[in-house]
Structure 1
Amino acid sequence: MAESAVSLVVDKLLPLLTQEVKLLKGVHDELVGVKDELEVIRAFLKDADSKAGKEGIGEGVKVLVNQIREEAHHIEDVIDDYMLHVARHPDNRHGLLRHIASLIKTFSSRHEIASEIKDIKSSLLDIKNRSQTFHFISSNQGASSSNSNAGRGLMDHPRLSSLFIEEAELVGIESPRDELISYLLSGVSQRTVIAVVGMGGVGKTTVAKKVYDNHRVKEHFQYHAWITVSQSYDKRELLRSILKRFYEVKNGLFPDRIVTMEEEELIKEIREYLGQERYLVVFDDVWEIGFWGNMEHALLDHDNGSRILATTRNEDVANFSRGSSLVHVYHIEPLPQKEAWELFCNKAFRSEFKGQCPKDLEELSQDIVRRCGGLPLAIVAVSGLLATKEKSILEWKKFLSGLGGSAMVSDPYIDSVTNILSLSYGDLPYHLKSCFLYFGMFPEDFSIVHGRIIRLWVAEGFVEEKPGMTLEDVGEEYFIELVRRNLVQVDEVFHGVPLTCHVHDMVRDVILSKSEELSFCHVSSSCSTFQGIARHLSISNRGSNTPKSSTKSQTRSIMVFDEVKLQKATIQVILAKFKLLTTLDFENCPIDHLPKELGNLLHLRYLNLRNTKVAKLPKSIRKLHNLESLDLRYSFVEELPVKISNFPKLRHLLAEDKKTRALKIKGSIKHLEFLQTLSKINVDDNVSLINDGLQVSTELKTLGIRNLKREHGRYLCTALEKMTHLRLLLVCSINPTNEVLELQSMSSPPLELRSIWLEGQLERLPNWISKIHNLAELRLSFTNLKDDSFEVLQALPNLNRLGLVCAYNGEKMHFEGGGFQKLKSLYLVGLSNLKEMLIDEGALPLLEKLQMGPCPKLKEVPSGFKYLRYLKDLSFTGMTNEFTQRLSQQESEKVRHVPIIQYDGTYDPSDEGSYEAWVERYFRRVGIKMT
């Protein structure tokens, strides 16, 4: 991560040093020297930073790495201070860099600036010289010194325990054990790689060992070997270990000549020794993606049912094998609460209470188990520790209060769990470390929106540019890699795209520990301390008041959570003190005002006011020329007070105020070359936005516009045909119940569209919708569709969600067999003419959720409900009395298989999340009374 900080500074220095105009005499030369020293140090950091948290690296190296990081941040602060001074003293007669030089000459502190840069260069020279005194092993050699194994016994304790744990102590292992045994003993004769994938501590090794030791498995394979790989391994040593295990199976004497064999000889020896026999080799704890490429030539495929079983935290390890082998990926998930509780009790109360939790300790014990998040390694470590303690409420409370804090770290058994999880952090490439640590900015158990975290990474400068890709696309790659490494857990997915995610509680403990060590971020419960906390500051009701880490460099990002109440004076202090902020996130914070000092944050790239009470932005926002992301959704902001062209670097403008549900913008967007998100924008008074701006916005991925007039529809269609990257489209007419959306004149729609929302009259369903085979979500409101349109919708091959709000005008709705093959959610609202609904067998085969009403003319309960075998949630509101009575009495057998059924009388309209409340709010907004 230190290398990442250095690289960022070098990238900032280059533009200053490659121009023809020099800075203040002496300053330019010193900056050249700084850049040169940084580039030399970067080579040292590639090895040092990756090894700083691992075994065999001394505290001196860790301190050195931290010093380099701090110095890099210091240089960045100096550069950005320069730019801040320049921006505050504009002069159009000169170029920016010429003006920098001019300004520096006039600053009263010009000698101090030059001196500061000299001091930085001197510090870097000293760091470089000291780094040369450390002779560490390069990353491709592995640890060989005796010191490299110091302390490993304790860290490996959980892994060793998992190899020798008794069967009677295991909980929740039966199903994965039996499934894996089945994969080994049956199936195709082709050699198959079975990858057991899961986060650290989830029980991969334990399950694999019980599979390996099973007598049926041992009898099935003529040769078998268990090989522990880990992060640093020697290929020749692994090959020798495989041979040694094979000799042991046959009780053969291991020849001395094998000890001195080279790699090629070992591969040949293994192949000859195996012959045509069937074998099983387990590779436990594989980290390197290309590992199988090192082993596959020794373990040939004789088409005899041989198997390779590998445990890994990284799914890409398995994917690498697909080129040469049949691969099956088996995911090990954390234990559910019931099984986690059983495991905890078996260990914590085995000796005194025969595995039963005393009643007075049950509530506290349940909290402790929940804190372990289903991670067997953590449960065993925690319960084992508690087994040695007094079984009293006071002792249990004391332990629970320290769980995840200093009390955890001080205990060797719990510390060993943290060390196991920390290995995953140490294995990350440097460009992912900052991204991973940034999850520590969010509170415990917080559901993190996928798009939000990526926009934050981009704004913080964590994402590196790649040819032909946007920064957001690269950030998406980063996100997926963290998921594949089982460091981030995805909660919601829509058509293959992650929506929300979180990190496991114990992984978050590792993040916070690393963040404290690196002064990366600090979680505080207030803004009482404004300086010297960390590079990134998270303010949360669940934070601590006293910072445990500090930094000389300035804080660059602030996020506020848990509805922390910030006084106006506090906000003013934040904006005044943190002058180099790049990100400011107030989402869900109950603030109602932003002062004019906002304009002082000239480096600000990310501003999030989502779901705040802010109604007006200060005009000083026009100074934020570096702004890349502005989120105003569900605030009260109705208008951007300055021209949108004031933000030439804008990438994302997200808006949907609580009154008009759209944002008025001034000026043209045609020069915003980086714009990817523009939603939701009021266009009724800004026709040029469509006729001019949108025609050149070809990079847009999300577009949402409201108050569209009929005569502007064809111009919009022309613009849409050029938006080849568009994923989400929302179009609302100026009067949804009367104004027609003229969207027919598009012959080549954006084929990457995943989601379409249309609100307004449609004389017929646009023909181009049938061409979008990737369409996963479609919401239509007030479109008054006929039967023929419904037939087109049924044929969409990948439609996952469909919402019709006063959108269908027919008397009969027929779901034909074979229709809506992938639909999982269906919303049918305000079907005022519907009298009959038919559902054929074979229609809606995957439907899980159906919500209906009001349907004032529908009296019969569709008999086809019985065919919807996967239906889990069925809700009705505003239905006729006849329909409700039949549903609850005579015809209940049609829906007997549905777990959740709700209809009139069971809703709470004050519950904003209920279906009925949503319908009432929607109708109220458009001026329709619910019948």
Structure 2
Amino acid sequence: MACVALTSLMATIQLEFVQPNNGRVPLDDEASISINSLFEKLSSLQGFVQQKSGAKGRGTAIRHLEIEIRDFALDAEDRIEIQLSNFLLAIKNPEDQQKAYQKLHQTLGEAAENAAELLEKSKQTDDEEVVINESEGPLIPSLKHYLVSEPSNIMVGRHYDLRQVREKLLWRGTWKLEVLSIVGMPGIGKTTLARSVYENALVAGHFEVRSWVSMSGAGGYNQSRMLHHLLWTLAEADDDEIKKGSIPDDDDVAAEQICKCLKGKRYLIVLDNLPNNEACYDIRHCLPDDTNGSRIVITTTHFVRRGDYDDDSNSYIHNMTLLDPEESWTLFCNNPFLKLKEHRAPPIFKEIRSQVVEICEGLPHSILVVAKRLSKCDNIRQEWNKVQKEIELLGVLDRRALTHTYNQLPQHLKVCFLYFGVFPKRSAIKVKLLMRLWIAEGFINPFEGKELECQAYKYLQEFIDRSLILIDNWSSSSGKIKNCRMHSALHSFCVREAQKEGIFCALNTLQLPRGSISMFAKSCRWLSFYTHKFDYYVLLRTNNPRSIFFFQEDAEIYVSFMLLRVLAFVPSSFLQRVPARLQDLVFLRYLSVTEWFEGLDYVVSTNRNLQTLVVSGKESQLGAPTFQLPSTIWESPQLQHLELDKSYVIDPPSMDKDNMQTLSWIKIEKAVCITDVEGGYLFGKNISKLNHTIKYKEARAEVDDYYKTDPKLEHVAGIREAGESDLLVQKIAYQLSQKGLVPFNPNFFNCEGNIDNGFGRVTTQPNETEIVNRLSRTK
């Protein structure tokens, strides 16, 4: 429960007091030691929470302590940031600032004392006896729960998947022992596919010994359990020696008997519902490889990509995909509950077809749950409305299994996972937006000198490897993930967990009375406005919001803006109502507005923490006038990403901006752009995306998406118009390449067509000397 609150508090302390070159408060040696001591205590508390959150049989004392730690962290961060805000806003009054400075130090000291007390409690709690989870059951439960003697689920469609997996099992290209991993999110049909392959006549006839072991159930996974279950299933085959004896308790003895049972035989072992693919290697040592075509099939939601497993030539990954709309409807009609004829379904089912397909999003488990519910009622329409609401609210996946998966996440991933709840259900999420928000919130931990963006992308990849996030599409230029999304079944769980943590509230302004919105807004850290069908809200405590997202039309809310870090997709009507409050945004790190307004330049220029500024604006019309933004924007020292709509322009900075990673629609005049590029002021070494508006003799040329070969530079490039502006951009590009900021690409300097300034038609690729001579004549 406390992981998000602790992560947020530690990120604030790291940014405001520990991070070099960003301190806004003068700290003497004594204060620095105190800050570091507080940070170490918080790290210890975070380690305790991480250890206990994934433990089985947590006692009441541990749960109460976690709540106490959560409340402490939320309260401490509020108090520290309020005092820090008072200090920063009192800059013009030395006496008031000195008083605020003393209160800030006092608050930090109290936080350190409280953290020390909680740390001592955590040590005492560790000494208490851990309550045993009675639901775990005996080591070897009833065999019938694990055998495949029961009728298998009907698999509709998936013919390609079935054929791929079956051919891999029967393929005689390699006789070595192979591991085949069937990977996908919960409820996507991994077990059903594995069962269909297992019972296939060709597969059954090909292998001498087959065994199915499932790690389902409350007991979960452990190596000893898997060994003994496997031996038990083999004992049911034809080994009289094992039948006469008993299943040994010793793991080594069990491993020897498994090896003896399988030695010299072609076998197929299915390990269903493993926590990850690495668990397979816990028993692989006891499975003989007689180079006779034996196979191991595992089903899992988590494929770990590291070490030797990535290079294992004797392994194969089969990634499951969601059903398309036609396959979804076929499964709905042909399931064992409804047994409808697909093309002769009653009219009422045809009426709700599109709704069923949309709400289930191609997840087989969701489709079967809906079909089973509708098969038991007379009033289909009434029941469907009820089912639809329940699915949107609660989801259909096993909550205990999802909770276990969530608890097993590392601490740094838990908070990032819950953050997906701020986005509307079934929405595509831009990866660059997601990563910038994670960084702005302080969720990304620097690791071995890696850039924060690289680390954030690694976090996202971990979610994908765990089947918690789906890839929507890829970037054609960089080859990286462009958009991702969370399946609605997981989104429901995510929202509920975030609300349970006391940090999130998703408001549908269409459902709530205007007067009640501010009450909800004051109860959470992350406030998101979007359309949903939730009819409940969790109000655990009074809270100061840190992040507000406007995915819905403007809402009349009145909350304290003092501690805001993120303001995203803010409509201009909202900002016009609260212009005075924007002066208090001393912690703002991410700002995305739909339209520039007077006074915003002050907020941007005076904010030392602002990392991202996005001004989207309205769709610009051809020939429409552009709006000149003030150059004071560049005064924000942490600014890394500046994206402007085409209707806005800004002059280049007059100071070095090495922090910049994204520049979009920056006005460059011929008279100044060459000087700025040569002086090294316009671009920094970290630049990764560059979109410019080049203004030359009233002509504009778009520069984007050209130097695709450079992994650091996703977008710099091509010319859309012919004329002298082409040569001007070419000169800039060449100077950038000489400074090592972009790669030298001769193809960029091919100029088809007549050039007005007398350079002639160039139809062949020029060499570098020719380029230099030609560009040196550019006026």
Give the TM-score, by structure 2 length: 0.80
| AA in 2 matched with 1:556 | R
| 1:787 positional shift | 8.5
What one-letter code is carried by the residue in structure 1 that aligns with 2:654? S
The superposition leaves residues 22-44 of structure 1 with CA deviations (integer Å, 9 ceiling, x where unpaired) of: 56xxxx99978855653443332
| Among candidates 710, 715, 721, match of residue 728 of structure 1 | 715
Residue deviations 1:567-601 (CA, integer Å, cap 9, x gap) = 6xx5xx45xx1310111101677768472532311
Residue 345 in structure 1 maps to residue 333 in structure 2: yes
Name the CA shift for 1:667/1:530 in 2 (closer, same or farther; >3 Å).
farther
- In structure 2, how many angstroms separate the alpha carbons of the residues matched to 1:319 and 1:89? 54
Q: Per-residue deviation at 1:197? A: 1.0
Give 1:426's aligned residue: 407
1:29-68: per-residue Cα shift (whole Å, max 9, x none)?
A: 99788556534433321222335xxx64456644532332
Structure-2 residue corresponding to 1:440: 421
Query: Does the alignment pair 1:66 with 2:48?
Result: no
> In the alignment, what sits opposite 1:554?
544
The residue correspondences of 1:18-167 to structure 2 (distance < 5 A) are 19-20=27-28, 22=30, 37-51=41-55, 56-57=57-58, 61-90=62-91, 103-105=100-102, 110=103, 114=106, 118=110, 121-122=113-114, 125=117, 129=121, 132-133=124-125, 145-148=133-136, 166=151
Structure 1 counterpart of 2:177 = 191
The reply on whether 1:607 has 2:591 as its aligned counterpart is yes
Q: Secondary structure at the match of 1:396?
A: helix
More displaced stretch, 502-511 vs 617-626? 617-626
> CA 1:7–1:292 in structure 2 vs 1: closer, same or farther (change >3 Å)?
same
- The secondary structure found in structure 1 opposite 2:538 is coil
Distance 1:64 1:280, change over 3 A: same
Residues 43/740 of structure 1: CA separation in 2 closer, same or farther (3 Å cut) = closer
Distance 1:351 1:752, change over 3 A: farther
Q: In the TM superposition, what is the alpha-carbon distance from 1:682 to its structure 2 partner?
A: 0.6
Q: 1:229 to 1:444 in 2, by over 3 A?
A: same
Partner-residue secondary structure (3-state), 2:70? helix
Q: Among 620, 630, 638, which residue is 1:641 paired with?
A: 630
2:193 aligns to what SS in structure 1?
helix
Residue 549 to residue 345, structure 1, CA distance change in 2 (3 Å): farther
Q: Deviations over 1:634-660 (max 9, x none)?
A: 4588333242442111111112333xx
Amino acid across the alignment from 2:747: I
**Partner in structure 2 of residue 500 of structure 1:** 483
Displacement of 1:2? 2.8
Between the two proteins, the alignment pairs up a number of residues equal to 719
* SS of 1:508 mapped into structure 2: helix
Distance 1:64 1:779 in 2: 70
1:522 to 505, 517, 523: 505
1:607, distance to aligned residue in structure 2 (A) = 0.4
- The answer for unaligned runs of 5 or more in structure 2 is 19-25, 510-516, 621-625, 698-702, 768-779
Match of 2:665 in 1: 680
Cα distance in 2 for partners of 1:404, 1:442 equals 15
Q: Deviations over 1:108-129 (max 9, x none)?
A: xx5x994896488458736853
In 1, are the aligned partners of 2:248 and 2:254 still within 8 Å (CA)?
no
Q: What SS does the corresponding residue of 2:292 show, helix, strand or coil?
A: coil
Contact 1:286 1:312 in 2 (8 A): yes
Q: In 2, are the aligned partners of 1:483 and 1:490 still within 8 Å (CA)? A: yes
Cα deviation, residue 706, structure 1: 2.3
In the TM superposition, residue 449 of structure 1 has moved relative to its aligned partner by 0.9
The corresponding residue for 2:564 is: 581
CA RMSD of aligned residues (A): 4.4
Report the TM-score when normalising by structure 1: 0.68
Structure 1 residues 178 and 165: alpha-carbon distance in aligned structure 2, compared to 1, 3 A threshold? farther
User: Is this contact kept in 2: 1:66–1:518, CA < 8 A?
Assistant: no
Return the alpha-carbon distance in structure 1 between the equivalents of residues 755 and 49 of structure 2: 60
CA-to-aligned-CA distance 1:470-489 (integer Å, 9 cap, x gap): 11110000111111222111
Match of 1:234 in 2: 222
2:492 to 499, 509, 515: 509
Q: Larger RCO: Structure 1 or Structure 2 (Cα < 8 Å, ≥ 6 residues apart)?
A: 2
Q: CA deviation at 1:188?
A: 1.9
**Equivalent pair of 2:688/2:714 in contact (CA under 8 Å):** yes
The yes-or-no answer on 1:212 pairing with 2:198 is yes
Q: Does the 8 A contact of 1:606 with 1:630 survive in 2?
A: yes
Q: Is the 8 A contact 1:192 1:327 kept in 2?
A: yes
State the partner residue of 2:747: 769
Give the SS at the match of 1:350.
coil
Q: Aligned equivalents of 1:353 and 1:276: distance in 2?
A: 48
Partner of 2:321: 333
Structure 2 CA distance for partners of 1:289 and 1:211, relative to 1, 3 Å: closer
- Structure 1 residue 629: Cα displacement: 0.6
Mapped partners of 1:290, 1:626: distance in 2? 41
Residue 225 of structure 1: SS of its match in structure 2?
strand
Contact 2:751 2:763 in 1 (8 A): no
Q: 2:285 aligns with which of 292, 297, 308?
A: 297
The offset of 1:730, in angstroms, is: 3.7
Q: How does 1:448-597 map to 2 (within 5 A)?
A: 448-495=429-476, 496-526=479-509, 527-529=517-519, 531-542=521-532, 547-562=537-552, 564-566=553-555, 570=557, 573-574=558-559, 577-586=560-569, 593=576, 595-597=579-581
1:169-195 Cα shifts (integer Å, max 9, x gaps)? 331244422331221111322222111
* Structure 1 position 606, deviation (Å): 0.3
Whether the 8 Å CA contact 2:9–2:73 is kept in 1: the answer is yes
Distance verdict in 2 for CA 1:248–1:348, change over 3 Å: closer
Structure 2 CA distance for partners of 1:690 and 1:345, relative to 1, 3 Å: same
- Following superposition, the deviation at residue 505 of structure 1 comes to 1.1
Q: Could you tell me how far 1:692 is from its partner in structure 2?
A: 2.4
Distance 2:402 2:208 in 1: 36
Which secondary structure state, in structure 2, belongs to the residue aligned with residue 472 of structure 1? helix
Offset of residue 699 of structure 1: 1.1
CA distance in 1, matches of 2:740, 2:325: 40
CA deviation map 1:69-90 (0-9, x unaligned): 2321221222222221121122
> Alignment partner of 2:643: what SS?
strand
Q: What is the aligned partner in structure 2 of residue 308 from structure 1?
A: 296
> What SS class does the counterpart of residue 412 from structure 2 fall into?
helix
AA of the residue aligned to 1:212:
Y
Between stretches 30-39 and 224-233, larger displacement belongs to 30-39
Name the SS of the counterpart of 2:169 in structure 1: helix
Which whole-Å CA distance do the structure 2 matches of 1:782 and 1:528 have between them? 63
Contact 1:632 1:655 in 2 (8 A): yes
- Paired with 1:676 and 1:127, the residues of 2 have a C-alpha distance of 40
Confirm or deny: 8 A CA contact 2:666 2:693 kept in the other structure.
Answer: yes
Q: What is the distance in 1 between the residues matched to 2:30 and 2:226?
A: 57
* Whole-angstrom CA distance in 1 between matches of 2:520 and 2:325: 41
Cα deviation digits, residues 268-320 of structure 1 (max 9, x gap): 44444433322221111122453243233222433221111111112326986
* 2:606 partner letter: K
**Following the alignment from structure 2 to structure 1, what is the Cα–Cα distance between the partners of residues 61 and 534?**
29
Structure 2 SS opposite 1:726:
coil
